[in-house]
Chain A
Amino acid sequence: MSTLLTRYLNDTLANDVPFSVPAASEITDLSHLINKLLVAADGRSDHKYVEFDFLINGQFLRMPLVTHMEMENISTEEVVEIEYVEKYMAPQPEECIFHDDWISSVQATEEWILTGCYDQTARIWSLEGKSIMTIAGHTEVVKDVAWVKQDSLSCLLLSASMDQTILLWEWNAEKNKVKALHCCRGHAGSVDSIAVDCTRTKFCSGSWDKMLKIWSAVPTDEEDEMEEAANRPRKKQKTEQLGLTRTPLATLSGHTEAISSVLWSEAEEICSASWDHTIKLWDAETGGLKSTLTGNKVFNSVSYSTLCRRLASGSTDRHIRLWDPRSKDGSLVLLSLTSHTGWVTSVKWSPTHEHQLISGSLDNIVKLWDTRSCKAPLYDLAAHEDKVLCVDWTETGLLLSGGADNKLYCYRYPATASDVGA
């Protein structure tokens, strides 16, 4: 028999009396208890039964209390503080958007979803799953897409492709017209990842040619001079170029293998994950290398949460690892989230919740994680029939995942639940 002290953040139950509960009790038992207490405190009979989740020292309770405490080495002699939060509701499936080919990337805003596709196009969809625009222009597979800016009239968006270019597009939502503004040339390999900074004036790109390049995202009317234009006159004649050529503002080299994922972690800090088993943090202004986090597997994807200031990485093993980028040289892996059975191709932190993230894997499953429960995910979203290649999480609580089965799945996830008990 262990004694537990429930700490109530709910006003109705503001007392510090410890409750004695059976050691073998599980989540449902504790839930019943809390519900009864709430009814008693309310004094009303119309209390609706609420399911709760429980946290002990910041870890979700997923098994009987005594087993959990044994595993966590918590003494049963002392008073245990158990925190309760309302149980997160399962993500509700909303849309399934069919593509013509594999979906390589997805990014959504409040209104639209932008996807990159292996049929060399980028597509814009409404949240209801209606195809609004197909942006064709690349000569190779589109590997990554990104929104730059959304005004009422026109939106700026980016698409990176295996044809070594990044195209900056202007999309007029009202007229539904799209126009290639700039063609960013400079990479000597497939551009696998792009990220736009928080000021929406710059973006960076990581490529198979091991280079990280920073570009301006501001549309201009001038064409940058290509340095080696003279070298390849034939090439220029041959390919009909879309938009004006743009050259990078800066090139950061340091990776010894392909860069698989880039992001802006802070205003002037770029984080890049690479196949050379490292995550590097760069100073975007000076172009210098700030620190290196070394793993032992190829990194497929990396994501940064401004809420908890952690990096999450997906690699070519089964684990999602959480890193603290500020640790110097310790390259500290804070946590491993293990439940996938294939490579983790894509991870994305929740923009609104500091503990939650989503991951997609080659085992066809998208998993919703809470970092307080690292052994098991909160939910498995097993809708895909083939490899999951990209996931996204919008601020409005929409989970998106696209994969090699040509389908983009949308889930509505109640973001409100994240605040209870937190």
Chain B
Amino acid sequence: AAMIRFILIQNRAGKTRLAKWYMHFEDEEKQKLIEEVHATVTVRDAKHTNFVEFRNYKIIYRRYAGLYFCICVDIGDNNLMYLEAIHNFVEVLNEYFHNVCELDLVFNFYKVYTVVDEMFLAGEIRETSQTKVLRQLMMLSTLE
């Protein structure tokens, strides 16, 4: 297998802004994972690589302002590609919310889930074209 296990957006304090799981975990496990990821990722600074081994997976992460975007993938996955995927996702968020900031993600968390579902599904990358995703999201918001 070479799939995404989960996607997490956390702030520096450890508050979860988005958690999307692509495999089954119990609730307590999920909490533990969130805490572990937070502990692992926040101690690293600019002189570390963006990849860190985590249990028997690995985490590709990138920090944007006060938020850590983490994708947990299998060991055999292409690190550099998922780094691109994170950046792609963040750029879409930026367009969608017009210069996104953390508060946008907080107050519109359910919309962020929609964005995630447009771009990732079943543990794989689904749509990579930013224009297409944004067009779709605009359509959806008119139905609100």
Co-assembled chains A and B: no
Give B residues with C-beta under 8 Å from A: none
